[in-house]
Amino acid sequence: MARINDNYLKLQAGYLFPEISRRVTEFTTANPDAKVIRLGIGDVTRPLVPAVLAAFHAGVDDMAKGESFHGYGPEQGYSWLSQVIIDKAYKPLGVELKTSEVFISDGSKCDSSNILDIFDLSNKVAIGDPVYPVYNDTNVMVGRSGAANEQGYYEGLVYMPCTEENDFAPAFPSEKVDVIYLCSPNNPTGTVTSREQLKAWVDYALENDAVILFDAAYEAFITEADIPRSIYEIEGAKQCAIEFRSFSKTAGFTGVRCGLTVVPHELMGTTATGEKYSFNKLWNRRQCTKFNGVSYPVQKAAAAVYSDEGWAQVKEVIDYYMENARIIREGLTEAGIQCFGGVNAPYIWLRTPEGMTSWDFFDKLLNECHVVGTPGSGFGPSGEGYFRLSAFGDKEKVVEAVGKIKQKWGK
Ligand code: MLT
């Protein structure tokens, strides 16, 4: 009989969001008349904007004619899309990139896991706590860790607690690490890394020969002027960082699928025998072998996000979600619930009322207010006693949810 990958058995629980769905389904089955308000998984609810939709349709129509039909595209994505991204999303930040450094993909969740293919298992990896569970679980799945301890920390991984005490900004690891995951704006805490903090991380990575995996999936939600939207705004970052970006939250592509990963030519690692080798070359090799690119109509739609018309429409949707974030943040704060994030990110991280555990609050909120959120402990041990609400819902439902929470826990 074939052997399974036993590393999967080390994972303590099912993936967080399916577990939430399971509990919600159980509740709705038992209470078919309850109208549940879903502010759990960060899934968008607004439709694709007209300019994006028109380009998407045009892309499909192209596929109907012999002269404009597209078969396999480049595994790295069409260079016209990479060029638009460089011109519209990076150049205004003062960041120069080549199209050969931008890899279009079907999303940053996949990329931030697949990237492990190009790192040796011996690398020491540091992740935040709480953290987007994909970083932790995929390292366990590839065999970089031992078992989890009672608290939920896996042996062999280095955790960087992000707590109220350090304003959710992790301290440098106390031991030598080779790979560091950073996420700003942060999922789940909704907080951001300042320019000074990011510079300190880049300097640290350069001094310690570490690679930063920088997840910028929520950069479009930044509202404050001086917060970096890309790690490459920091000098030296091209020698030490890979950046992930996504169209999912920015432009409502969670069901469409498109993201990108930047692997600069300057970024080097070492071979087993100590020679320098380009991570860009390795990622290119990986993508060419294991990936066949994103569909042509989807890439057409993605390019339209950055047209003048498209961006104006997309920006309106982002503002809509950020208004929801304001409503949640201010409403809960009024109710005496301590809130973090929600200013430069579509997530509000709150302290559970009455000292409840994260899952107890989840169950109470679902059963008594019919509101779904995400328990902080699902993002790591330091998330215990916290809870995440997503701002991606319909405004009326967000207002209703906040009203119910205020009524139940307001002081
Ligand atoms: C979340 O809710 O954390 C995200 O939707 C998950 C994801 O982007 O994969």
Per residue in 155-195, pLDDT (tens digit) is: 999 999 999 999 999 999 999 999 999 999 999 999 999 99
Give pLDDT < 50 ranges for the chain.
none
40 Cα nearest atom in ligand 1: 2
CA dist 210 and 200 (Å) reads 13
Helix (H, G, I), strand (E, B) or coil at 59: helix
Among 20, 24, 132, the mutation site with the greatest number of ligand 1 atoms within 8 A of its Cβ is 132
Reported as type and span, the H/E element at residue 282 is helix 279-290
188 Cα nearest atom in ligand 1: 3
CA dist 187 and 340 (Å) reads 12
pLDDT at 129: 97
In the reported structure, the alpha carbon of residue 133 is separated from the centroid of ligand 1 by a whole-number distance in angstroms of: 9
CA dist 318 and 333 (Å) reads 22
Domain positions in the chain are 13-42+309-409, 52-306
* Lookup: tokens for 310: 């498209």
In the reported structure, the alpha carbon of residue 404 is separated from the centroid of ligand 1 by a whole-number distance in angstroms of: 25
Nearest to 104 by CA among 294, 296, 278: 294
CATH number of 52-306: 3.40.640.10
CA dist 287 and 207 (Å) reads 30
- Cis amide leading into 188 (omega within 30): yes
Q: With contact defined as beta carbons under 8 Å apart, do 382 and 161 qualify?
A: yes
CA dist 392 and 296 (Å) reads 27
In the reported structure, the alpha carbon of residue 108 is separated from the centroid of ligand 1 by a whole-number distance in angstroms of: 10
β-sheet bridge partners, residue 270: 276
Among 39, 43, 215, the mutation site with the greatest number of ligand 1 atoms within 8 A of its Cβ is 43
Residues with CB under 6 A from ligand 1: 41-43, 109, 187
Nearest to 210 by CA among 126, 300, 92: 126
Burial grade of 3 (CB within 10 A; 0-12, 13-18, 19 or more): exposed
Ligand 1 atom 6 nearest Cα: 42
In the reported structure, the alpha carbon of residue 113 is separated from the centroid of ligand 1 by a whole-number distance in angstroms of: 13
pLDDT at 13: 72
Helix (H, G, I), strand (E, B) or coil at 375: strand
In the reported structure, the alpha carbon of residue 345 is separated from the centroid of ligand 1 by a whole-number distance in angstroms of: 13
Q: Are strands 386-390 and 374-375 parallel, antiparallel or unpaired?
A: antiparallel
pLDDT at 55: 98
pLDDT at 291: 97
Q: What is the DSSP string of 208-270?
A: TT-EEEEE-TTGGG--STTS-SSGGGSTTGGGTEEEEEESHHHHT-TTT--EEEE--TT-EEE
Instruction: Please identify, in words, the CATH class of the domain defined by 13-42+309-409.
Output: alpha beta
Nearest to 368 by CA among 325, 410, 409: 409
DSSP label of 165: G
pLDDT at 139: 98
Q: With contact defined as beta carbons under 8 Å apart, do 405 and 365 qualify?
A: yes
pLDDT at 158: 98
In the reported structure, the alpha carbon of residue 42 is separated from the centroid of ligand 1 by a whole-number distance in angstroms of: 5
pLDDT at 411: 72
Place of tokens 């047209």: 307
Per residue in 182-233, pLDDT (tens digit) is: 999 999 999 999 999 999 999 999 999 999 999 999 999 999 999 999 999 9
